[in-house]
C-alpha cells in the first residue's frame, strides 16, 4: 500500500518546548518509532510541518543587520533539508539497513493572484505575549494573530497548485525508498511575467499540500497525524465526541477552527473527493491501528453520513 503521512507540528516540537535541536530530535525519534511500525510491506512518503523552524530562522536572521532578512522560500528550503536529515537518520536507526531514504527539496507552484496574499493567516515561529507581539509587529512590519492565549506571526498561505518534483518522488518510491518531501507544504514558487520560476514570501499549508501530493502519487491512504485521536464534535466541551467516520459533505459544513483542525478536514475531504480513497485524521501514536482501519477519523465517499465513535 502507498501511504502519505503528514506529520503535524507536535511531531517536531511540543507546545511550550524550547526550539532546541535536542528537543526536535527527541520528538522526531518518537515519531519515527511509530512510523516504523507500518513500513514493512508499504511504500511510505513523509511530509511534515516547519512553522516553528522557519520562524526561528527568521528571528535569527533578523539579528544580523548587515544584509536584508532571507525570504521565507529560502528559509523553507533550509528547514526542509534540516528536518529531512533528522527524519532520515532516526528512521534509519529503527528500520533495516537495506531500506533506502531520500529527502527532496520540493517546489510547489502557487497562484500570485491567490487572495491569501491579501489576508495573511498562516502562523509561523514561536508564541508571544500580547505586548511583545505588538512590539515585534511594529518593528518588523509583521502581521500577528491570536494563537490560544498567545500570539504568533502570520503570513500568506496560498493554495498549492502543482508539485514540481512529483516525478522523482514517484521514481524513488518505485525503487523502494522512503521519501521525505513537501516539508512545510513545500517551497512556495510562482512564475513571473517573463515565465521565470521564483520563490515567493508565503507558507503553504502542509495538510493541503500533502493531500495534493497523495492525489498526484495515486496513494492508497492519506494519514494526517496530529496530537489528538481524531476530529471531534463540540470540541473542548463536556459533550465532545470523536467522529469515527464521515462523508466529506457532512464534515465540511461543521465549522472546524481555521487555525487547527479546519485545514486537516479540508485536506482529508479534498483527497477523498478527488480520488475516491480514504483519508484519516488521528494520533501518530495510533498509526498502526489507523492503517488497519481501527482508529482515527476516516473520511471517505463510502461513508454513510457521519458516524460518532
Please report the DSSP string for 136-195 in residue order.
HHHHH--EEEEETTEEEEEE--PPP-EETTHHHHHHHHHTT-EEE--GGG-EEEEE-TTS
Q: Based on the domain organization, do 132 and 171 belong to the same domain? A: no
- Active-site annotation holds for 65: no
The pLDDT of residue 36 is above 80: yes
| pLDDT higher than threshold 70 for residue 37 | yes
CA distances from 13 to 20, 107, 192, 208 (A): 9, 24, 35, 21
Q: Annotated catalytic residue: which of 206, 277, 282, 296?
A: 206
To the nearest whole percent, how much of the chain has pLDDT over 70?
A: 99
234 and 133, same structural domain?
no
Same domain, 94 and 125: no
Express each pLDDT in 232-246 by its tens digit: 998 888 889 999 999
295 and 253, same structural domain?
yes
In terms of domains, do 86 and 172 share one?
A: yes
Instruction: Report the C-alpha gap between 127 and 15 in whole angstroms.
Output: 9
Bigger pLDDT: 201 vs 181 = 181
- Interatomic CA distance for residues 105 and 87, integer angstroms: 14
Least confident of 25-34, 233-242, 270-279: 233-242
167 and 32 share a domain? yes
Taking the C-alpha atoms of residue 97 and residue 226, their distance in angstroms, rounded to an integer, is: 28
In this structure, the answer to whether residues 219 and 85 fall within a common structural domain is yes
Active site residue 277: no
Verify that 190 and 132 share a domain, yes or no. no
The chain-wide mean pLDDT, for the chain, equals 92
Question: What number of other Cβ atoms are within 10 A of residue 218's Cβ?
Answer: 10
- Grid cell 509561523 in the structure block, residue: 124
Q: Is residue 161 annotated as a catalytic residue, yes or no?
A: no
Characterize the bridge pairing of strands 43-48 and 101-103: unpaired
Per annotation, catalytic residue among 27, 49, 50, 122: 122
For residue 68, what pLDDT is reported? 76
Asked about 122 being catalytic, the answer comes back as: yes
| pTM for the full predicted model | 0.91
Share of the chain above pLDDT 90, in %: 70
Choice among 27, 185, 264, 282 that is catalytic:
264
Number of domains observed in the structure of the chain: 2
Greater model confidence, 21 or 89: 89
pLDDT of residue 80: 95
What is the average per-residue pLDDT within 61-70? 77
Same structural domain for residues 234 and 276? yes
Same domain for 228 and 126, yes or no, is no
Q: Is 9 a catalytic residue?
A: yes
pLDDT of residue 256: 87
Shared domain check, 254 and 146: no
CA distances from 191 to 17, 108, 164, 212, 213 (A): 38, 11, 13, 19, 20
Q: Which residues pair with 189 in a beta bridge?
A: 109, 199
The pLDDT confidence band at residue 96, using thresholds 50, 70 and 90, is very high
Domain, as residue range, for 132: 120-155
Give Cβ neighbours of residue 219 (< 8 Å, ≥ 6 apart).
2, 3, 4, 45, 213, 275, 277
The dihedral over CA atoms of 22, 27, 29, 31, expressed in degrees to the nearest 10, equals -160
Amino acid at each position: 500500500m502507498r501511504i502519505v503521512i503528514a506529520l503535524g507540528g507536535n511531531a517536531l516540537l511540543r507546545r511550550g518546548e524550547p526550539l532546541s535541536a535536542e528537543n526536535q530530535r527527541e520528538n522526531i525519534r518518537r515519531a519515527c518509532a511509530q512510523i516504523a511500525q507500518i513500513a514493512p510491506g508499504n511504500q511510505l512518503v513523509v511530509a511534515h510541518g516547519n512553522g516553528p523552524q522557519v520562524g526561528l530562522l527568521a528571528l535569527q536572521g533578523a539579528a544580523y543587520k548587515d544584509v536584508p532578512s532571507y525570504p521565507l522560500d529560502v528559509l523553507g528550503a533550509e528547514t526542509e533539508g534540516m528536518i529531512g536529515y533528522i527524519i532520515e537518520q532516526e528512521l534509519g536507526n529503527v528500520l533495516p539497513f537495506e531500506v533506502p531514504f531520500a529527502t527532496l527539496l520540493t517546489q510547489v507552484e502557487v497562484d500570485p493572484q491567490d487572495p491569501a496574499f491579501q489576508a495573511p493567516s498562516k502562523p509561523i515561529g514561536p508564541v508571544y505575549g500580547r505586548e511583545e507581539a505588538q512590539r515585534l509587529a511594529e518593528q518588523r512590519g509583521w502581521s500577528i494573530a491570536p494563537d490560544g492565549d498567545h500570539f504568533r506571526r502570520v503570513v500568506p498561505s496560498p493554495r498549492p497548485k502543482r508539485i514540481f518534483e512529483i516525478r522523482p518522488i514517484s521514481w524513488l518510491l518505485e525503487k523502494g525508498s522512503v521519501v521525505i518531501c513537501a516539508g512545510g507544504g513545500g517551497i512556495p514558487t510562482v512564475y513571473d511575467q517573463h515565465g521565470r520560476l521564483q520563490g515567493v514570501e508565503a507558507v503553504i499549508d502542509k495538510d493541503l499540500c500533502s493531500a495534493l501530493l497523495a492525489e498526484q502519487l495515486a496513494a492508497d491512504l492519506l494519514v494526517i497525524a496530529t496530537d489528538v485521536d481524531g476530529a471531534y464534535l463540540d470540541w473542548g466541551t463536556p459533550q465532545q465526541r470523536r467522529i469515527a467516520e464521515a462523508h466529506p459533505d457532512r464534515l465540511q459544513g461543521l465549522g472546524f477552527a481555521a487555525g487547527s483542525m479546519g485545514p486537516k478536514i479540508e485536506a482529508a475531504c479534498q483527497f477523498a473527493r478527488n480520488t475516491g480513497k480514504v483519508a484519516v485524521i488521528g494520533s501518530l501514536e495510533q498509526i498502526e491501528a489507523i492503517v488497519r482501519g481501527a482508529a482515527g477519523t476516516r473520511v471517505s465517499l463510502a461513508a454513510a453520513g457521519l458516524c460518532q465513535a
